[in-house]
Amino acid sequence: MNPPSSSSSLVFLVLVSLLLSSSSLAANNNELASSEEVIRLPGVTGPESLAFDCNGDGPYVGVSDGRILRWNRTLKQWFEFALTSPHRDRKLCDGSTDPNKEPICGRPLGLKFNKKTCNLYIADAYFGLLMVGPSGGVAQQLAISASDGSPLHFVNALDIDEKSGVVYFSDTSTLFQRREYQLAVLTGDKTGRLLKYDPSSKKVQVLVKGLAFPNGVALSKDCSFLLLAESTFNIIHKVWLTGSKAYNLEPFALLKRSPDNIKTNKKGDFWVALNSYRSVLPNTDHNEIVQKEDQNPWWIKQDPVAVKFDGNGETLEVLDGGGGQKLDSVSEVEENDGRLWIGSVRKDYVAVVNNV
C-alpha cells in the first residue's frame, strides 16, 4: 500500500516534492514491450500484492473488497480463495471498492507463500498478520498485537524466513488506518514499525520504531538481512538480522520516487516498485512532471515504475512505464516465469510484462 489517493491537492504538492529528491542510478532501459497483457479483476480493484503458490499457480491477489482471489490460468478466470475475517459480511463487502468498508471487509495488502509448507501469509491492514492453508477459506489470525501490548494498526507487507518460519512485517502507522494514509504522509507521521513474528513463541517483537510510512519488506536469499522501504523519505534501508549489527538500519538506496512493495526473484535480486503518482496528480501529464527535474537525465528519459537491485544495491534493471497510464500506479513487481507480474493498489487489473 502506498500514498496517496485522489482528493487533496496539498498531498499532491507534498508528494511531487518528495518525488523530486535526488539520487543517481544508471541502468538499462526496459521499455514496456508490446508483449504486455492485462488481467482484469472481477469488479474490484487494488491488487496491491501478488503471490504464486508451491506449484507455481496463480497469481493470488488481495483486493479492495477484502478477498484474496486466485487466477486459474487454464480457465482464465478469478476464483475466491480466502477471506481475512470470519465476520466479513458478504452482502456488504463482495465487490466493494469503498475504503470506508475496509474495517469490516478487511484489506489484504501483503501476500507471500511459504514454499515449504504451501501456506499463504497475509498482511491485512485491519486484521493483522494471518495465514491460510493451501485450500484457502477463512484465514487464521496469527497476531493482532506486539508483545509490548501495542496493537497492530496498519499491517502492510511481509516476508518469511522459510527455514525458521519467522515472518518479518511492516506496520505502517500506529495513528492512521490504511484508508487515512494521506494523513500519514501529510503529517509526516513517524509511528511506523518493523516487526517480527516468531511461530514457536507466537510472539511479535518490535524490531524498529519511528519509521515514516514503512512499506515493502523483503529478505535476502540467505536471510542475513532484509530490505525495508520507508516510503515518505524515498529510502530503502538494509536491516541486518544477525550479528552485532542486528536490527540496525543502513541506507541501501535513495530513490526519486516513493518505494512501495519489494519482492525477490529466484536469484535473490530485489524488485522495488516505485509509485509515479501520475494516476492521482490532477491536470498534470507526464511531461509537466518530468520537466521539473531537468538536470537529471535518468529521470527525464525514463518513467521508472520499478527498479531491480542486487544485494549490494547495484541497479540491474529499470522498468519504464513509458509515461502512459497502464503502469502509472505500480505497487509491486513479482518476477515469475520470465515475466513481471505487476500489482497496483489502485488499478482494476494485474499487468504482465515479458522480461526475457
Ligand X SMILES: *[C@@H]1O[C@H](CO)[C@@H](O)[C@H](O)[C@H]1NC(C)=O
Which alpha helices (DSSP H) does the chain contain, by range? 9-19, 90-93, 102-105, 181-186, 286-291, 297-301
Q: Which C-beta is closer to ligand X: that of 57 or that of 337? A: 57
Stretch that binds ligand X, among 71-79, 139-147, 218-226, 287-295 (CB under 6 A): 71-79
Stretch that binds ligand X, among 16-24, 67-75, 96-104, 283-291 (CB under 6 A): 67-75
Q: Which C-beta is closer to ligand X: that of 56 or that of 86? A: 56
Q: Which C-beta is closer to ligand X: that of 62 or that of 304? A: 62
Shortest CB 271 distance to ligand X, Å = 24
Q: State the burial class of residue 53 (Cβ atoms within 10 Å of its Cβ: 0-12, 13-18, 19+).
A: middle
CA distance 255 to 273: 11
Shortest CB 60 distance to ligand X, Å = 11
Residue 57 is a binding residue for ligand X (CB under 6 A)? yes
Alpha carbon 190 to its chain centroid, in Å, reads 19
Query: 10 Å Cβ neighbour count for 36?
Result: 16
Shortest CB 59 distance to ligand X, Å = 11
Shortest CB 105 distance to ligand X, Å = 24
Letters for 290-329 (x = contact with ligand X by CB under 6 A, - = none) are ----------------------------------------
Stretch that binds ligand X, among 17-25, 69-77, 154-162, 305-313 (CB under 6 A): 69-77
Shortest CB 110 distance to ligand X, Å = 22
* Structure letter (DSSP) for residue 151: B
Q: Which of 23, 24, 29, 72 binds ligand X (CB under 6 A)?
A: 72
Q: Which of 74, 100, 135, 295 binds ligand X (CB under 6 A)?
A: 74
CA distance 82 to 66: 9
Shortest CB 93 distance to ligand X, Å = 24
Q: State the burial class of residue 135 (Cβ atoms within 10 Å of its Cβ: 0-12, 13-18, 19+).
A: exposed
Residue 26 is a binding residue for ligand X (CB under 6 A)? no
Q: Which C-beta is closer to ligand X: that of 25 or that of 111? A: 111
Residue 137 is a binding residue for ligand X (CB under 6 A)? no
Shortest CB 352 distance to ligand X, Å = 16
Q: Which C-beta is closer to ligand X: that of 75 or that of 356? A: 75
CA distance 305 to 324: 11
143 contacts 202 by C-beta, under 8 angstroms = yes
Residue type, 158: L
Q: Which of 26, 34, 75, 294 binds ligand X (CB under 6 A)?
A: 75
CA distance 144 to 154: 10
Residue nearest to ligand X (CB): 72
Q: Which C-beta is closer to ligand X: that of 58 or that of 110? A: 58
CA torsion sign for 123, 128, 129, 133 is negative
Cβ-Cβ contacts under 8 Å for 138 (sequence gap 6 or more): 82, 83, 84, 85, 86, 132
61 contacts 69 by C-beta, under 8 angstroms = yes
Query: What is the rounded radius of gyration, in angstroms, for the C-alpha atoms of the chain?
Result: 19
**Which residues of the chain form contacts with ligand X (CB under 6 A)?**
57, 72, 74-75
